[in-house]
Amino acid sequence: MAAALIDGRAAAEALRARVGIAADFFRAASGRAAGLATVLVGEDPASSVYIRSKIKATHEANMHGVHHPLPADTREEQLLALVEQLNRDPSVDGILVQLPLPDQIDTARVIAAIDPDKDVDGFHVVNAGRLAVGDPDALVPCTPLGCLHLLKSHLGSLSGLEAVVIGRSNIVGKPMAALLLAESCTVTIAHSRTSDLPEVCRRADILVAAVGRAEMVRGDWIKPGACLIDVGINRVAGAEPGKTRIVGDVAFDEAREVAGAITPVPGGVGPMTIAMLLRNTLVAAHRRANLAVPEDL
């Protein structure tokens, strides 16, 4: 039997609707809209598309979004000065500096400059540390948070399940592993040096692929009935010359024959990332205003 499709678009829409309602309550309770500031250095076309959809989603969710586009040759000090200004701005609850940044800018320095309580990407070491020790004040990176939401909505309790995360980035793999551990999974982090990766994957009840290599995870790597979360967004040549299409890190057609459930690409994890950015912004806004964070966010 073919795997169930986990519809990230529908889940993201539902979450965004809840965030929109909560954002209205926030506005009534605090007297101001929750605010997200986005920063994009340069004009990478893919980044511009993502940023545009983030800002549109912010407005649709009854929040205030301000975008700060900077030229590609912006110096690190100029970007740090903008971050400082946004840290001080009381109308700004969340700061998102779109990555990757150009080579003349030290990404770690920029992330370190963001007020951890406005760090809605969850990339600051303070938030990574809070997540690692189970501090509920952590702002958690949006992509793994979206993956966890999809997993829990499909499986319910994750307790005792074998989870394998392929990829050890600070943005996805490591925080994903921390979240699964907090849900009482038995967690393995696999990566490019893992020996016999297919065999490691075959023990996974939950397999999260976040490697950035098109269709790397094959059908015979998958335990029958497993729940597959595909974080990959890889642009490959399309059927017609000159056209491209997007595929995940999982060979979808093969995996679908074996897995119990799978997220499609596009329409899986990607839309959840944006919904969780709005959620994190609203969570940050409530904390900054000393208001209780709504239960169902």
Residues annotated in a binding site for NADP(+): 167-169, 233
Catalytic residue among 93, 115, 119, 121: 121
85 is catalytic: no
Nearer to ligand GUE, 167 or 270 (CB): 270
Nearer to ligand GUE, 121 or 205 (CB): 121
Parallel, antiparallel, or unpaired for β 162-166 and 206-209? parallel
Do 142 and 119 form a contact (C-beta atoms < 8 A)? no
Nearer to ligand GUE, 84 or 199 (CB): 84
Residue ranges binding ligand GUE (CB under 6 A): 50, 96-99, 121, 142, 233, 246, 265-267, 270-271, 273-274
Residue 70's identity, in one-letter code, is L
Separation CA 181–CA 117 (nearest Å) = 24
Please state the closest distance from residue 228 (CB atom) to ligand GUE, in A.
15
Catalytic residue among 98, 115, 119, 205: 98
Please state the closest distance from residue 133 (CB atom) to ligand GUE, in A.
23
Going by C-alpha positions, the residue among 217, 254, 283 that lies closest to residue 63 is: 283
Residue 112 has, within 13 A of its CA and on its CB side, a CA count of 6
Nearer to ligand GUE, 163 or 172 (CB): 172
Parallel, antiparallel, or unpaired for β 234-237 and 244-247? antiparallel
Rounded to a whole number of angstroms, the CA Rg of the chain reads 19
Q: Phi/psi of residue 261, each to 5°? A: -155, 150
Please state the closest distance from residue 213 (CB atom) to ligand GUE, in A.
16
Do 263 and 269 form a contact (C-beta atoms < 8 A)? yes
Find the length of the chain.
297
Nearer to ligand GUE, 36 or 161 (CB): 36
135 is catalytic: no
Binding-site residues sit at 167-169, 233
* Strands lying side by side in the sheet with 94-97: 64-70, 35-41, 94-97
Q: Which SS3 state, helix, strand or coil, does residue 31 take?
A: coil
56 is catalytic: no
Catalytic residue among 54, 118, 174, 223: 54
Please state the closest distance from residue 296 (CB atom) to ligand GUE, in A.
22
The residue sitting closest to ligand GUE, measured at its beta carbon, is 270
Please state the closest distance from residue 97 (CB atom) to ligand GUE, in A.
6
Task: Name the residues annotated as catalytic.
Answer: 54, 98, 121
